[in-house]
Amino acid sequence: MSRRWYEAGPLPAAHTTRRRDTRLTILASLAAAGGLWLLQAFAGGYVVHMTCVAALFAVLAVSYNLINGVAGQFSLEPNAFVACGAYVTALLTLSPAEKAASFILEPIIWPLSVISIPLLPALLIAGLLTALMGFLMGFPVFRVRGDYLAIVTLGFGEVIRVVANNAQAVTNGPLGLKGIPHLTDLWWTGGLLALTLFIIVRLVNSSYGRALKAVREDEVAAEAMGINAFWHKMLAFTTSAFFEGVAGGLLAHLITTISPSLFTFFLTFNLLIIIVVGGLGSNTGAFLAALLFTYGGEWLRVVEEPLNLFGLHIPGIPGMRMVFFSLILVAVMIFMRQGLLGRREFSWRWLWAVLDQRRP
């Protein structure tokens, strides 16, 4: 009679390692939740706001990295998906009275004029509609490759912005939407970031993720091995669109005012800087670069302020922050061509290896 598993002696090393990693992940999650509670309870409003912004940029960067870094498709569409999610969520959560007060040039269409639902279902609807838009966009988009793909997705992003600017009865046109409830806090943004990392990391480490990496390296060879490159790219594009739409919805409820001018190519350019600096294909790099971009951007505000140096008045130059970020991008491309982390990812095994090397 065979012995039971608990009578079979020591556990295999691989099983022990997985169990240790699971425990460490749970402890790290609890520590992160405790940190969020402390920030939400005791930190000032500015710190909480910037942490929420950093978390949302991390969500956008990780989801954008899925299609641009893991799948290797040079897509320039995030501003369209973020705009879609922001407008859908705002229109579903604004009260009828706020809508009537905001739409002064042309009344909002029915049934949007009478709908008002809680944030969670609004975010789910926004994410699903954005994913549907990404799915439908994928059919013409992935019929082309390379630079043509970038041009087509850039065009789609501009189309969405122009539609938002002219659909007066739906989006209020260039006046935008005001009075959006301030519902986004650290729990919403932290929870979305945790969910995004969990799903995308699991996806990248699955057979679908390995197929996406094969498509990135050589699409023709991947198809010769039996991988349906088109549908794998569609999966990545649709997943990326969903999380970008939900992040857009939380962004709208963080800043409480949105307009088409907020969703220009400038937003896509910022996300492109983040994933390139972090390392194309690295979720860890995208996450860290998003934090660096958000907090670094605030620290660099000093370069845009007037300066008195030894009696010499130097006026502030608006936009100098982006000049510095562009210089950082150029430096990374010259000295670290694969970004800060390349395609490396954080793992507990790597951390233990580093600690073991430092032991005497």
User: What pLDDT score was predicted for residue 247?
Assistant: 96
**Selection from 263, 248, 256 nearest residue 165 by Cα:** 263
- Phi, psi (deg, nearest 5) at residue 309: -120, 105
- Residue 318 in domain: no
User: What pLDDT score was predicted for residue 193?
Assistant: 95
Query: Which mean pLDDT values do the consecutive 10-residue runs of the chain (360 residues) have?
Result: 45 66 83 86 86 95 94 91 95 91 86 90 96 93 88 91 91 90 92 94 91 91 91 94 96 94 90 90 91 85 73 73 78 81 79 68
- Residue 202 in domain: yes
Residue with tokens 């220009």: 264
pLDDT tens digits along 191-227: 999 999 999 999 999 999 999 999 999 888 999 999 9
If DSSP states are collapsed to H, E and C, what string results for 38-77? HHHHHCCHHHHHHHHHHHHHHHHHHHHHHHHHHCCCCCCC
pTM of the predicted model as reported, rounded to 2 decimal places: 0.89
User: What pLDDT score was predicted for residue 318?
Assistant: 75
Q: What span, in angstroms and rounded, lies between the C-alpha atoms of 271 and 164?
A: 21
- Phi, psi (deg, nearest 5) at residue 307: -135, 130
- Residue 115 in domain: yes
- Residue 106 in domain: yes
Q: Which domain holds residue 37?
A: 24-263
Q: What span, in angstroms and rounded, lies between the C-alpha atoms of 3 and 307?
A: 77
User: What pLDDT score was predicted for residue 78?
Assistant: 92
CB atoms within 10 A of CB 256: 15
Instruction: Give 302: exposed, middle or buried? Use CB within 10 Å, 0-12, 13-18, 19+.
Output: exposed
- Residue 78 in domain: yes
Question: Within 256-310, where are the H helices?
Answer: 265-278, 283-299
User: What pLDDT score was predicted for residue 228?
Assistant: 92
Peptide bond into 78 cis (omega under 30): no
Exposure on the CB side of residue 100, measured as CA atoms within 13 A: 6
Task: Give how far Cα 90 sits from Cα of 10, 84, 94, 262, Å.
Answer: 56, 10, 6, 14
- Residue 285 in domain: no
Q: Are strands 312-314 and 307-309 parallel, antiparallel or unpaired?
A: antiparallel
- Residue 220 in domain: yes
**Selection from 58, 1, 74 nearest residue 282 by Cα:** 58
pLDDT tens digits along 23-38: 888 888 888 888 888 8
Query: Can you give the length of the chain in residues?
Result: 360
The count of domains in the chain is 1
- Residue 310 in domain: no
Q: Which residues pair with 314 in a beta bridge?
A: 307
Instruction: Give 64: exposed, middle or buried? Use CB within 10 Å, 0-12, 13-18, 19+.
Output: buried
